[in-house]
Structure 1
Amino acid sequence: MNSSNIGPVEKVNLRERVAHALRAAVISGEMEPGVVYSAPSLGARFGVSATPVREAMLDLVRENLVVIVPNKGFRVTEVSERDLDEMAQLRMLIEPPIVRDVASVIPEHDFEGLRGLAQRIVDGAEAGDLVEYTEADRLFHLALLGYADNARMVDLVSDLRAHTRLYGLASLLEKGELVPVAREHLAIVDALRSRDAARAEELLRAHISQTRGRWAKPS
């Protein structure tokens, strides 16, 4: 695991800080799928006792990032390449057409907030904060879908995203390629604000398609 995300944690808001670092490690692939991690071993890595680590890992269980292995610890959820392909296909079927359809109904006064969310994604990338990047990205995409006024669809896409793993995040960050990816969201907002539905759909379709390749598990 890369020590850039996992290291000693100050005993201030300990559970939250441990959960933040663990989440980043799972999302980026630093904690490997299928591997069982014990609370004591992770606690030693953090320089804390096993208790706050165990509490933080239970948060991740609720988020479907890890599962409990009785008497051993926690195993990072495995997601196959086929699973990732299928989830990307479903997102491609749902999100671009919806964004095209909602381009004409987004209130003008909402664009400041949407652009703020898109900027949060960029800020997370620039700061190297993988958790902030991922959370802002999730909020942005679900916010766009929300304008279709279909709660079941939003829940479906939210669930798809919860089961996705962004294996290539750390690599993109190291190569300086994560910020350009993040800025694609600003371009989508600009197209929507111009009421260019076809352009917004095109940008989002390209974003999802390219994202699947970027997030592929390293060979």
Structure 2
Amino acid sequence: MTSVMRKRKQKRALAGEIAEAIRSGGYRGGEWLRQIDLEEKFSATRFDVRAALDELVVLKAIEHVPNRGYRVAEIDTATLRHIRETRVVMETAAVPNIVAAVDAPTLARLRDLAEQFSAAAREGTRADQSRVNSEFHHLMYHLSGNPVMEEMIWNLRDRSRGSNVTVWISHEALLRSDRDHHAMLEALEARDAARLTELISGHILRNDP
């Protein structure tokens, strides 16, 4: 791997780490991101942090305000509704390929992640819950076999973090996500594409992560 390719990979990884911090509620909509704090938090150079922030601006996860700096994008109610509606289209479109591609080892890994999420919902931190939730959905959408669709799905999910809705708005919402994960597993095991489509749509429209 060339040094240029390594640098690009590092930049993408750092942008992903910052996006994950936003996703897990570490930064809220409208909050300013101080580059010096990010350098310390992520053990990165100023150049790498700036490059990662610029990448997140392109993805609309954050915004750049001239002469002020970078802040987490704020999403109004109408835009959030449009993002959810688009997510339903994108994520349910992946269902046929997901159902066709899932195999026993992947089901076992998804089952393990669902159990990890159940444990995190009972006694884990919000960061634990967000991390395992992300791993569960990343693995499921990776089964689509379409990396472009997968990237667009996660760009939309990350962009929606700029709303004033918390990661899980209540403990009941957290428990509902837990139940949904297990129901999605049952649908996958039964190769029931219609049921999985229904579950994903409900998951999104209720604003569950």
Q: Give the alignment partner of residue 125 of structure 1, picking from 97, 121, 128.
A: 121
Taking the aligned partners of 1:54 and 1:120, their CA distance within structure 2 comes to 25
Taking the aligned partners of 1:150 and 1:138, their CA distance within structure 2 comes to 18
| Offset, 1:29 | 5.8
Taking the aligned partners of 1:115 and 1:172, their CA distance within structure 2 comes to 24
2:202 match: 206
Over 3 Å counting, the alpha-carbon distance change for 1:177 and 1:63 in structure 2 is farther
| Offset, 1:55 | 5.7
Taking the aligned partners of 1:118 and 1:201, their CA distance within structure 2 comes to 18
2:166 match: 168
Q: Give the alignment partner of residue 139 of structure 2, picking from 124, 143, 151.
A: 143
Root mean square deviation of aligned Cα? 3.6
Q: Give the alignment partner of residue 52 of structure 1, picking from 27, 40, 46.
A: 40
| Offset, 1:38 | 5.3
| Offset, 1:193 | 0.7
1:15 match: none
Moved more, 159-168 or 96-105: 96-105
2:153 match: 157
2:53 match: 61
Q: Give the alignment partner of residue 102 of structure 2, picking from 101, 106, 110.
A: 106
Q: Is contact 1:67-1:75 (8 Å) kept? A: yes
The question of 1:91 aligning with 2:87 is answered: yes
Q: Is contact 2:24-2:131 (8 Å) kept? A: no
Q: Is contact 2:187-2:196 (8 Å) kept? A: yes
Q: Which runs of 4+ in 1 moved over 3 A?
A: 26-32, 35-40, 53-74
2:177 match: 181
Taking the aligned partners of 1:146 and 1:122, their CA distance within structure 2 comes to 22
| Offset, 1:37 | 6.0
Structure with the bigger percentage of helix: 2
Over 3 Å counting, the alpha-carbon distance change for 1:69 and 1:132 in structure 2 is farther
Over 3 Å counting, the alpha-carbon distance change for 1:170 and 1:90 in structure 2 is closer
Structure 2 spans left out of the alignment, 5+ residues? 1-16
Structure 2 counterpart of 1:52, one-letter code: E
Percent of aligned pairs with the same residue? Answer: 24
The count of residues paired between Structure 1 and Structure 2 equals: 183
Report Cα offsets for 1:32-90 as digits up to 9, x if no partner: 422436579xx7xxxxxx97259689498377355566775642222222322222111
Q: Is contact 2:24-2:130 (8 Å) kept? A: no
Q: How do residues 14-53 of structure 1 correspond to structure 2 at under 5 angstroms? A: 23=21, 26-27=22-23, 31-36=27-32, 52=40
